[in-house]
Amino acid sequence: MADRIHISTAKARICTGALMLVIFGVYLWQAIGLPTGRMNAPGPGLFPIFVAGIIICAAIITIFDGLTMLRADETFDLPLGRPLVRTLAVLGALLMLALLLPIAGRVITPFLTILAITLTLSDRSWIHSLLWSVALTALVWLTFIELLGIPLPRGVLLSF
């Protein structure tokens, strides 16, 4: 199985431009609900309307840019197979950290995140990953919690 998929840059840019048009619609719908004030006393809604104009220009320019690139046949690649699994694992670990931090707290969460990433990316034994995860968690604890005093959540499971 190939571990890369090639995507046309031109088509991707056209899709990005189209997505910006949708974003423009939502943004403008919200912006026109804001008080614009008068020209000599501008309200909080005036500048967003100006920004909405820039967004639609950006969308049109990007679509046009994509259309002019169609002939160039330029591509970029995205991961498939094992590289995709690795990429998703790193994103999943970060999501897990965000979800677990308020619950499992400032010690267990970094430990689990480091362990998950090293187990996915490393070919070494799980004991090796486990020991290194403990060491790196201790390093994070000492630097950010003890030395710099950053108030990370203690969590509800264990209060340390």
Binding site for other proteins (CB under 8 A): 9, 12-13, 16-17, 20, 23, 27, 30-31, 34-35, 38-48, 50-51, 54-55, 57-59, 61-62, 64-65, 76, 78-79, 83, 86-87, 90-91, 93-95, 97-98, 101-102, 110, 113-114, 117-118, 121-122, 132-133, 136, 139-140, 144, 148-153
Of residues 54 and 158, the one with the C-beta less far from other proteins: 54
Distances (CA, A) of 64 to 57, 69, 73: 10, 9, 15
For the CB of residue 58, give the shortest distance to other proteins in the complex, in Å.
4
For the CB of residue 145, give the shortest distance to other proteins in the complex, in Å.
9
